[in-house]
Amino acid sequence: MKNNSRRNFLQTMGVATLALPFVPTAYGKEKNVLPDVPYDGPVLRVAIMGLGSYGTRVAEAMRSCKKAKLVGVISGTPSKIEDWQKKYDIPKKNCYNYDNFDKIKNNPDIDAVYIITPNGLHHPQCLRVAKAGKHVISEKPMGLNAKEGQEMVDACKKAGVHLLVGYRMHFEPKTLEIIRMRKAGDFGKVLFFQGLSGFRIGDPTQWRLNKALSGGGAMMDIGIYSVNGARYMIGEEPLWVTAQEVKTDHEKFKAGIDETIMFQFGFPGGATASCLSTYSMNNLDKFFLNGTNGFAEMQPSTGYGPIKAHTNKGELDFPHETHQTFQMEEMSEIILNGKQPIVPVNGEEGVKDLKIIDAIYEAVKTGRKVDLV
Active site residue ranges: 140, 225
Q: Quick one: 181 or 258, whose CB is closer to ligand NAD?
A: 258
Q: Quick one: 67 or 168, whose CB is closer to ligand NAD?
A: 168
- Cβ atoms of 216 and 258 within 8 Å: the answer is yes
Least distance (Å) between residue 118 CB and ligand NAD:
5
Residue 9 buriedness (CB in 10 A; 0-12 / 13-18 / 19+): buried
Q: Quick one: 116 or 161, whose CB is closer to ligand NAD?
A: 116
Selection from 195, 352, 189, 353 nearest residue 271 by Cα: 189
Least distance (Å) between residue 10 CB and ligand NAD:
6
Residues 6+ apart with CB under 8 A from 176: 23, 24, 342, 343
Give the interface with ligand NAD as residue ranges (CB under 6 A): 3, 50-55, 76, 116-119, 121, 139-140, 166, 168, 207, 213, 221
Residue nearest to ligand NAD (CB): 52
Residue 200 buriedness (CB in 10 A; 0-12 / 13-18 / 19+): middle
Alpha helix ranges (H) inside the chain? 4-10, 53-62, 78-88, 119-131, 146-159, 173-183, 211-214, 218, 224-234, 323-337, 347-366
Least distance (Å) between residue 292 CB and ligand NAD:
33
- Give the span between the Cα atoms of 261 and 245, in whole angstroms: 4
Q: Quick one: 278 or 290, whose CB is closer to ligand NAD?
A: 278
Q: Quick one: 116 or 273, whose CB is closer to ligand NAD?
A: 116
Selection from 98, 88, 155 nearest residue 123 by Cα: 155
- Give the span between the Cα atoms of 176 and 168, in whole angstroms: 12
- Give the span between the Cα atoms of 306 and 319, in whole angstroms: 8
Least distance (Å) between residue 236 CB and ligand NAD:
24
- Give the span between the Cα atoms of 113 and 47, in whole angstroms: 5
Least distance (Å) between residue 50 CB and ligand NAD:
4
Calculate the CA 291 to chain-centre distance.
Answer: 26
DSSP 169: G
Q: Quick one: 168 or 182, whose CB is closer to ligand NAD?
A: 168
Least distance (Å) between residue 69 CB and ligand NAD:
20
Instruction: Provide the angle, in degrees to the nearest 10, between the axes of the packed helices 347-366 and 146-159.
Output: 160
- Give the span between the Cα atoms of 320 and 20, in whole angstroms: 9
Least distance (Å) between residue 290 CB and ligand NAD:
26
Q: Quick one: 57 or 355, whose CB is closer to ligand NAD?
A: 57
From the CB of residue 89, how many other CB atoms can be counted at a distance below 10 Å?
9
